[in-house]
Amino acid sequence: SQKIEQNSEALNIQEGKTATLTCNYTNYSPAYLQWYRQDPGRGPVFLLLIRENEKEKRKERLKVTFDTTLKQSLFHITASQPADSATYLCAPLNTDKLIFGTGTRLQVFP
């Protein structure tokens, strides 16, 4: 069955450093993958979409890579800030539906 894995342990980094979050998927080949941010008690908010024929996508301090050979997406936040603290969810497309990972909680310390 299709499986999505994100690091369940929280990622703690110092302000100003680059945060890198990992999303691995198995047993299918998504046409694209989306990343979302979720704050406690709130619904997820869309950040970026990357297609299977794109290696990298950037938006301000955010960068996403998509390696279809490794079946992996990496999500980078450069010059991280305490306001970036949240849970980040990856969501590869499975046929016509998005399947969400459990998310990785990022904590940025000043």
Partner 1 sequence: SQTIHQWPATLVQPVGSPLSLECTVEGTSNPNLYWYRQAAGRGLQLLFYSVGIGQISSEVPQNLSASRPQDRQFILSSKKLLLSDSGFYLCAWNWGRESPLHFGNGTRLTVT
Question: Of 17 and 42, which CB lies nearer to partner 1 in the complex structure?
Answer: 42
Q: Report H helices in the chain.
A: none
Sequence-separated (6 or more) residues with CB below 8 Å from residue 18: 76, 77, 78, 79, 80
Per the DSSP assignment, residues forming a β-bridge with 12 are: 107
Residue 41 binding partner 1, by CB under 8 A: yes
Question: Of 17 and 55, which CB lies nearer to partner 1 in the complex structure?
Answer: 55
Per the DSSP assignment, residues forming a β-bridge with 76 are: 20, 63
Least Å distance, CB 43 to partner 1, is 3
Give the binding site for partner 1 (CB under 8 A): 4, 8, 32, 34, 36, 41-46, 49, 89, 91, 93, 96-103
